[in-house]
């Protein structure tokens, strides 16, 4: 059994920073998961040969990626790259 060391802040400001970082971590994970869910749906539609249904999900993907980039879960260039790559994949399918 591995003994895990848990760091507990001694200073009030460090406690607050820990709370803030945990909250941001949860929110960023939620935003990234929203993007992954849409990408998974697009991937399934493309695998099934349903190009029209995959293309219908592009606005959802754009919204999820832009929200994540706006809140700094993704860099804005990464957001653009994700949108561009998936649009190209759908159009070439």
**Domain ranges, ordered by start, for the chain:** 38-93
Asked if pLDDT for residue 87 goes beyond 90, the answer is yes
Asked if pLDDT for residue 43 goes beyond 90, the answer is yes
12-47 vs 76-92: helix axis angle to the nearest 10?
10
Mean pLDDT, the chain, whole residue set: 94
Classify residue 7 as exposed, middle or buried by CB count within 10 Å of its CB (0-12, 13-18, 19+): exposed
CB 16 within 8 A of CB 9: no
Place 92 in a pLDDT band, splitting at 50, 70 and 90: very high
């Amino acid at each position: 059994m591995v003994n895990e060391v848990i760091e507990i802040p001694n200073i009030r400001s460090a406690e607050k920073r820990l709370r803030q970082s945990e909250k941001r971590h949860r929110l960023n994970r939620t935003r990234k998961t929203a993007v992954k869910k849409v990408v998974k749906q697009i991937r399934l539609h493309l695998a099934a040969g349903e190009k029209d249904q995959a293309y219908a999900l592009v606005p959802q993907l754009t919204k999820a990626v832009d929200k994540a980039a706006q809140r700094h879960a993704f860099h804005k260039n990464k957001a653009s790259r994700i949108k561009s790559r998936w649009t190209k994949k759908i159009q070439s399918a």
